[in-house]
A and B are shown apart, each in its own frame.
Chain A
């Protein structure tokens, strides 16, 4: 692990964020109010794109967990590291600030997340439906757990 990553981790730790570190991965758990600040800090340290935006619905706990998987193309030392920033949102009216201005690579991922789980990204210019038809799926969010699929048994 290079010095740059050490520095990055230390900086995040110094602000009392919940940072854990495994081989090639840095996990940062943040609260909603610190979210933008942490991402800005990461961006200043060379993180330049979002690889994946995963949102997970936990109906029993009343929360939706959002994972951002971030990476860097511009800094060679950071190539192998992926940074996972995660935060919890309330399930009833989940909303968080959009990163589309900071990382254009997230524009379509946020649009997908919006239609699939109903998370509102504040500040996104173009929050339309992407994959699903906007007529049939207004206020229906397929990746939430209450959306069920029929299953078959193994008997004929």
Chain B
């Protein structure tokens, strides 16, 4: 830097310890950021293009991989779009199981975001705690699906596995433990006066601005807009489930943290409700059950493990377009799937919450201290691989 320049440019990432796989180009005057320009694409894998070269079924594990903390929701949104094209709806029990996994995953996803948010303002304890508590949810998901993060659990027409024996008791045990630890986390991190001092009034996003910028998820709800896809366009078992939408008016980093905490509490409630109200019945749609030979059908009903009919390998999907939208951990997630009647998608457009929140970087990180950059950035729970796809 020459002595004449008044400002310096800081490359906040991709090698910065708190940046993730992206960079923000900051223009800094002393300790104040004047301008921020996000530069993304470091983890772009071209999932939309790759999807055009895979069969409908092969796309399922792939779409999960753009956002590992939130795999179930990507899985679900894609399958909803696909089911609209196929013109089927999963049986009720499968819908409840989808909701179960989605909520377990939402807790894990929020804890992931909160942990990183904690370490961004210096609380390594918050980081370790959130990741430790997230482990409980991963264990539950593992019991349900057989995998820790990449579930590939939801398939067109249903889900792949019924709940294992004794699952409800396991869930109750883990949830109790989880709730107890959450109360300690609240004392240690969330209500910690230093945390409050660092986050309150930082990165304020007023309601009008939030609406204008079209942001999504906890960020939107922390600014006072009561918009939750689970409520406005209910999918899976949400029409039958009673839950509150977490809303805050302040719109600052702390409100976004609190909205996540509240949503975790609601998710726990939903998980309990799902396990209480879980209806009996098949977990795979009638149309595909019919295709299975009797031996396999018996196996499915006895073990609760779904066997795919052979048609799944090369499934042809009617011409048309399907839209699947879910409330993912980070916000509204939309899959726009266009089929031309072949066995591979003609075009798959994924509108991810992280990508839609990207616009906030240049809006919120302006006239703030350098120290506030991580406090704002990670309060958005921005996940670079999800935005880059």
Contacts and interface: CB of A to CB of B under 8 A. Distances in A.
Q: Is A in direct contact with B (CB under 8 Å) within the complex?
A: yes
Interface of A: 24-25, 48-54, 56-57, 67, 69, 73-74, 79-80, 82, 103-109, 112, 116, 129-133, 142-143, 147, 149, 151
Q: Which of B210, B325, B388 has the most CB of A within 10 A?
A: B325
Given A132-B41, A132-B44, A69 B359 contact: no
Contacts of B232: 79-80
Sort A-B residue pairs by CB-CB distance and give the 3 closest, nearest first. A105-B214, A49-B214, A52-B351
B269 interface: no
A24 B233 contact: yes
Contacts of B278: none
B364 to A, nearest CB: 13
Secondary structure at chain A's binding surface: helix, strand, loop or mixed?
A: mixed
Contacts of A108: 355, 358-359
B307 interface: no
Nearest to A27: B321
Nearest to A56: B347
Nearest to A67: B336
B323 A56 contact: no
A52 B338 contact: no
Secondary structure at chain B's binding surface: helix, strand, loop or mixed?
A: mixed
Contacts of B338: 54, 56
Contacts of B49: 142-143, 147, 149
A25 B320 CA distance: 15
Interface in B39-73: 40-41, 44, 46, 48-50, 52-53
B211 A52 contact: no
Interface in B91-108: none
A108 B355 CA distance: 8
28 contacts: A24-B233, A49-B211, A49-B214, A50-B214, A51-B351, A54-B336, A54-B338, A54-B349, A57-B347, A67-B336, A69-B334, A69-B351, A73-B220, A73-B227, A74-B211, A82-B233, A82-B323, A103-B214, A104-B212, A104-B214, A105-B356, A107-B359, A108-B358, A130-B41, A131-B388, A143-B48, A143-B49, A149-B49
A52 B359 contact: no
Given A108-B359, A130-B41, 14 more contacts: A51-B214, A51-B351, A51-B356, A57-B347, A73-B211, A82-B233, A105-B356, A107-B359, A112-B355, A131-B388, A132-B44, A142-B49, A143-B48, A151-B53
Contacts of B388: 131
A105 B233 contact: no
Q: Which of A108, A109, A143 has the most CB of B within 10 A?
A: A108
Nearest to A116: B48
Nearest to B38: A108
B346 interface: yes
A52 to B, nearest CB: 4
Interface residues of B, number: 36
A51 B211 contact: no
Interface string B327-365: 000001010101000000011010100011011000000
B274 to A, nearest CB: 23
A56 B210 CA distance: 29
Interface string B16-57: 000000000000000000000000110010101110110000
B275 interface: no
Q: Which of A50, A80, A106, A130 has the most CB of B within 10 A?
A: A130
B16 to A, nearest CB: 20
B139 interface: no
Q: Which of A143, A147, A151 has the most CB of B within 10 A?
A: A143
Interface string B169-190: 0000000000000000000000
A104 B213 contact: yes
Contact of B53 (A56, A129, A149): A149
B129 to A, nearest CB: 33
A131 B43 CA distance: 9
Contact of B332 (A51, A130, A131, A133): A51
Contacts of B225: 73
Nearest to A150: B53
Contacts of B358: 108
Interface in B256-286: none
Q: Which of A53, A112, A133 has the most CB of B within 10 A?
A: A112
